[in-house]
Amino acid sequence: ANALQAVGFLRSEGLPQSRTLERDARRLQEAGQMSYPDFLRTIDQTFTLEETYVARVQQLNAIQLRLAYLLGN
């Protein structure tokens, strides 16, 4: 997928799902229904997804800057 599609997907689906997963993991861990190692693995997954989003946004920005440079803008 290209950078624009990846950013769009992550913004519309990936990040909301990640936030829901994080919220649910915190609730379950606080209620004693999730072990701490499982909680940490889940939080790590959400951070990884957020890092991926930031990397794709940076990639998209770099592409836009290069394109503007090439077009003389």
User: pLDDT at position 2, please?
Assistant: 83
Backbone angles phi, psi at 51, to 5 degrees: -65, -40
Residues 6+ apart with CB under 8 A from 19: 46
For the chain, how big is the Rg over CA atoms in Å? 17
Angstrom CA distances, 44 to 3, 17, 21, 64, stand at 23, 14, 11, 30
pTM of whole model > 0.75? yes
Angstrom CA distances, 40 to 59, 60, 63, stand at 28, 30, 34
Q: For residue range 11-48, list pLDDT tens digits in order.
A: 999 999 999 999 999 999 999 999 999 999 999 999 99
